[in-house]
Structures are given as C-alpha cells and as structure tokens.
Amino acid sequence: MAGYNTLSGRDLERIRVLADGVFAVAMTLLVLDLRLPAGEVADSGALRDQLGELGPEIAAYALSFTMLGTFWLAVHAVLDQARGSDRTLAWSVLTFLFFVTTLPFSASVLADHAHLRLAVALYWANLAMLGAGLAWQLWHVSRAGLAEEGEALVLVRRRLVLAQALYAAAALLALLSPVAAIAGLALVQLFFMVSPRLPWRT
C-alpha cells in the first residue's frame, strides 16, 4: 500500500498541466451562463435593454475571472517552490481544484442573488476553501522537505495571509450591505492586479 502511494503523484509537471486544464475550463464556463432571453427583439434599443439587464451578471463573471486568474498565479507560485511532488501534494492540489470547479456555481449564485448576505457568504467560503487548499500545499511542501526554506516561501505565505485577510474583511461588509461586500472584493482584486505596476515596487 505504502509502496503504491510513493509511486503515484510524483510528477509535478503532470499536476500543473491538469491544474491549467481545470482553470482553463472553469474560466471559459464562467461566461457560459451569460445568455440573452430567447426570441427575436425588434430593434437595437430592445437589445440594449436586454444587455443592460445582464450588467450585474457580467460584473460578477468579470470579478470571478480575476479571482481564478489570481488563484492560478498563486497555485503556480506555490508549486514553483517545490522541487518534486508526492501523493499528498497531488491530493492537496486536487482538493484545491475541486474548489476551482465550484467557483462558477458560487459565482452564478452571487450573480443571481447579489442582494443576499448568504450569497456573499457562499462566495467568500469558496475563496476561503481555495486559500485553505493553498495553505495545505505550502504546509506539506515544507513539512515533507519538498521545498527549501527561504525568502520565497516566506513571501508566498505572507501574500496568502494578506489576500485571505482582505477577502474576509471585504466579505464582512455584507453585514452592512451585500453589494458593498461585492464592491469590496472587486477593489481587492483591482489592487492585486494593479500593484505590480505601482511606481514604488522594487
């Protein structure tokens, strides 16, 4: 039994290719829910009204796409630290990928029910589980001697804590207003996307 377990899941590149595939499908499926009501419309004005009604959904999908982008960068930043893989690392990435596949669902619940606290809570829980998956990977990589302790590992850990703290803070705004919480999450994302290009970066 132990023998087989040391045989499987050892190829880090394989795990990354699977992860890229799952992210690519999840990213593309996000937009699959975007649909106009069936049937002809009379003119461009009527079509504009229909597109306008999709506005909140488009915003929710754009937000979720940036989330998937952020976590895609994050999982590779984590795996970059590992010299090799083992079965436990494979399962920690698979668990993480499970919550990647649930994000289109959480995003569609959020898009349909942006005014409900529970929808924000569900979405945040999905982000938190993705963070937990990354934490498990980081913890295992250190513990199993798959990565060298060093500055890079410290930076990756710190970023994970920072990101999850900001997501949690933004989600807490839902106690005041669910829409404010969504705006908060969007702001955090914007910050992560823009920050590498800020003038004070070293």
The reply on whether position 193 binds its own copies by CB under 8 A is yes
Binding string to its own copies for residues 54 to 73, with x set by CB under 8 A, is what? --------x--xx--x--xx
The reply on whether position 76 binds its own copies by CB under 8 A is yes
Say if CB 142 and CB 153 are below 8 A apart. Answer: yes
> Cβ closer to its own copies: 16 or 183?
16
CB of 174 to its own copies, least distance (A): 10
* Interface with its own copies (CB under 8 A), residue from 12, 107, 109, 146: 109
* Interface with its own copies (CB under 8 A), residue from 35, 52, 55, 150: 35
The reply on whether position 179 binds its own copies by CB under 8 A is no
CA distance 95 to 136: 10
Say if CB 32 and CB 107 are below 8 A apart. Answer: no
CB of 12 to its own copies, least distance (A): 12
DSSP 167-192: HHHHHHGGGT-HHHHHHHHHHHHHHH
CA distance 42 to 16: 48
Note the Cα 135 to chain centre separation in Å: 14
